[in-house]
Amino acid sequence: MQNIPHVPVLYREVIEAFSSIDEGIIIDCTMGYAGHSSMILEANPNIKLIAIDQDQTAIDFSTKRLEPFKDRVEIKKGRFSVVIKEILEENDASQIKGVLADIGVSSLQLDQKSRGFSYESDNLDMRMDKDAPLSADNVVNEYSSSELERVLLEYGELRNYKKIAQEILNNRPFSSAKVLSDTLKPHMPRGKKIHPATLLMQAIRIEVNDELGELKTLLQNIKDASLPNARVAIISFHSLEDRIVKKVFSEWSKNCICPPQAMRCECGNNHSQGKVLTKKPLMAQDEELKENVRSRSAKMRIFQMRKQ
């Protein structure tokens, strides 16, 4: 077996989440290095897995890794917001029993400096799909002042977003993430247990890969397909994503969808898609935290779609 470049987070919880599924299809929207995919295939011997990733390096690695599972696996390259729709059109909704998304970047994407995700990278890229049209270079060196401010505020939640945007404008062009983060370090928030440039890098990365838009569209497509009795598990790594998942799952569970100002219910009070199985998100336990430091910010929420 090749060296595995990514340790899957919350793997015990993921296996448990899908353990009751004994036939049909499970979709892994973020195959990465196939850690979760291979564990699910092993733990659920009668299911078929359809796995998606937009990163060709991950696809190449995982195609080999999943070879032993032969025709129980189908791998698709592309953005999950788009590919999931195709999968849902190609397959009978009643066959889809589970959907997993382990949102965000893989360890390999972060660790390979040439991908540009790290604040030590000597380029400005950050594209999960190397053929995608927008890179960190475009964002940092070409965005207008107001576009930069939007990215820094909405995706980095940086209080001094105006100042940072101005510093970017004053000092560009930047040739690498390292020069960018070194230049802006003095303006980044202090006192958190993270590198000062983390929120800056996070903001640019979310913009480049439209990460929040991808998550929202994925969830909308799952809801529109109304998959009977399917289990949906989403792992997120920062509060912007977790807030979206929490809000959407809560909306899915509501019977009444009348506007809050309505005096009485007029919607029929029968709109619930199912129930939230995790009142609080599942997080890594001590044992996993010791094994895998990246698991510390992972949160998983699970939704059980109704039988119909």
Ligand X SMILES: C[S@@+](CC[C@H](N)C(=O)[O-])C[C@H]1O[C@@H](n2cnc3c(N)ncnc32)[C@H](O)[C@@H]1O
Which residues lie near ligand X (CB under 6 A)?
Answer: 6, 8, 30, 32-36, 52-55, 58, 79-80, 102, 104, 106, 128, 214
Distances from the Cα of 56 to the Cα of 31, 81, 202, 239, angstroms: 11, 17, 22, 28
- Looking at the Cβ atoms of 30 and 181, the one nearer to ligand X is 30
Residue environment code for 92-127, b if the CB has 16+ CB neighbours within 10 A, otherwise e? eeeebbbbbbbbbbbbbbbeeeebbbbbebebbbbb
Peptide bond into 173 cis (omega under 30): yes
- Looking at the Cβ atoms of 35 and 156, the one nearer to ligand X is 35
Nearest Cα neighbor of 183 from 242, 235, 141 is 141
The least distance separating ligand X from the CB of residue 292, rounded to whole angstroms, comes to 11
Beta-carbon contacts of 97 under 8 Å, excluding residues fewer than 6 positions away, are 21, 23, 24, 25, 26, 47, 227, 229, 230, 231
The least distance separating ligand X from the CB of residue 261, rounded to whole angstroms, comes to 35
- Looking at the Cβ atoms of 197 and 233, the one nearer to ligand X is 233
- Looking at the Cβ atoms of 38 and 176, the one nearer to ligand X is 38
The least distance separating ligand X from the CB of residue 304, rounded to whole angstroms, comes to 21
E strands present in the chain: 25-28, 48-53, 73-77, 96-102, 231-236, 274-276, 282-283, 299-305
- Looking at the Cβ atoms of 37 and 184, the one nearer to ligand X is 37
- Looking at the Cβ atoms of 8 and 116, the one nearer to ligand X is 8
- Looking at the Cβ atoms of 53 and 149, the one nearer to ligand X is 53
DSSP one-letter code for 19:
T
The least distance separating ligand X from the CB of residue 219, rounded to whole angstroms, comes to 12
DSSP one-letter code for 192:
S
Bridge partners, residue 73, by sequence:
49
Whose structure tokens read 């640019």?
Answer: 204
The least distance separating ligand X from the CB of residue 86, rounded to whole angstroms, comes to 13
How many other CB atoms sit within 10 Å of the CB of residue 74? 15
